[in-house]
Amino acid sequence: MFNSDRLYFREIAEEDRKPLEDLFADPAVMRFADGTKTKRGTGEWMEQSYRDYRSFGVGYWVAEKRGNGEFVGQCGFRPQKIQGQIHMGFGYLLARNAWGEGYGKEAAYACSNFAFEQLAIDELTSIIHPQNIPSIKIARFLGMEKQDRIRKHCQWMDVYRLENPGL
């Protein structure tokens, strides 16, 4: 699909099930997300990703290291309802062994550029827990601005948005 300096992004495939199960089962990775997922939950997430590809031409992609194909995480976007309106929800999760290497920043930058330059998406919206400082830093690096605070998964979350600078 597309790549960055160190990462390659591609559609999720069945061979990604195990690394995705491990990713979604890790409490540290899922700390600020909607909780860990079971194997069944991971399968449902994968099925939703396949539907997103078919219905919208977008979704979450596997991020892997260029050269050796090592699983790093997932990154992408999908339509998401926020306060009654549809926005292009943007997010990522990295395997814990990929933390601290700059992959989150690199993946977010590559995905946002792909969204804006190749797909002409109007804006990207991220819902970020206010204590998730690494994700807030990445959002700000991209130029995202905090727009709102909403209740999601029984907790307060901040809504960050970035408009396509080319439109």
CATH number at residue 38: 3.40.630.30
Q: Which domain holds residue 71?
A: 2-163
Q: Specify the pLDDT at position 60.
A: 95
pLDDT, tens only, 50-97: 999 999 989 999 999 999 999 999 999 999 988 889 999 999 999 999
Mean pLDDT of 91-109: 96
What span, in angstroms and rounded, lies between the C-alpha atoms of 65 and 19?
Answer: 14
pLDDT, tens only, 117-165: 999 999 999 999 999 999 999 999 999 999 999 988 778 999 999 999 8
pLDDT, tens only, 1-60: 899 999 999 999 999 999 999 999 999 999 998 889 999 999 999 999 999 999 998 999
Residue 103 has which token pair? 């992959």
Three-state secondary-structure class, residue 1: coil
Residue 61 has which token pair? 């992609």
Contact indicator for 94, 104 with CB cutoff of 8 Å? yes
The number of domains in the chain is 1
Q: pTM of the prediction?
A: 0.91
